[in-house]
Amino acid sequence: MFFSAKSFADLEGKALICKWERLITGFTFERNYKYYRYWIGLKNDTYRVYISPLHNYKIEPDWIVLYLGTSINRKTLKIYDNAWNDKGICELAKYDTIKSRVEKHKNKLQEEYNKKLEGNKI
């Protein structure tokens, strides 16, 4: 029979908001080392919140390694892409507020974008 204690490495029920330049990305961590990613995209003059399918993550002593090699330093919460380019800083967030926080930021970006469009003739 195999017994297992919940590991400190298990991020289930935790969430991060990561900021880079004017954008934010949210992550919610689920059971069995899986996570959702929430991000904002612009298409045809409209910002939209996208939610990824469940992806796997792995835990290393100093890193959370996400899909396609994105990594988050566990001590500093700095996020890096797969080429080790600095992509900003993350902060702990409440799990149940991630989608609304990303949605609120999307609305702010849309308002700013709409102001830039004012006066366009086409």
Whether residue 71 is contained in a domain is answered as: yes
Dihedrals phi, psi of 103, to nearest 5 degrees? -60, -45
Whether residue 50 is contained in a domain is answered as: yes
Whether residue 2 is contained in a domain is answered as: no
N-terminal to C-terminal alpha carbon distance within the chain: 69
pLDDT, tens digit (0-9, with 9 covering 90-100), for 82-100: 899 999 999 999 999 999 9
What pLDDT does residue 21 have? 82
Whether residue 46 is contained in a domain is answered as: yes
Q: Taking residues 11-37, what's their average pLDDT?
A: 93
What pLDDT does residue 7 have? 55
- Domain with 44, as residue range(s), is 15-117
Whether residue 8 is contained in a domain is answered as: no
What pLDDT does residue 71 have? 96
pLDDT band for 4, please (50, 70, 90 cuts).
very low
Q: Does 12 score more than 80 pLDDT? A: yes
- Domain CATH for 23: 2.40.128
- Name the one residue in this structure whose structure tokens are 């297992």: 4
pLDDT band for 8, please (50, 70, 90 cuts).
low
Whether residue 122 is contained in a domain is answered as: no
Euclidean distance between CA atoms 122 and 105, whole angstroms:
27
pLDDT, tens digit (0-9, with 9 covering 90-100), for 61-85: 999 999 988 999 999 999 999 899 9
Whether residue 77 is contained in a domain is answered as: yes
- Our count of domains for the chain comes to 1
Nearest one of 21, 15, 9, 42 to 85, comparing CA atoms: 21
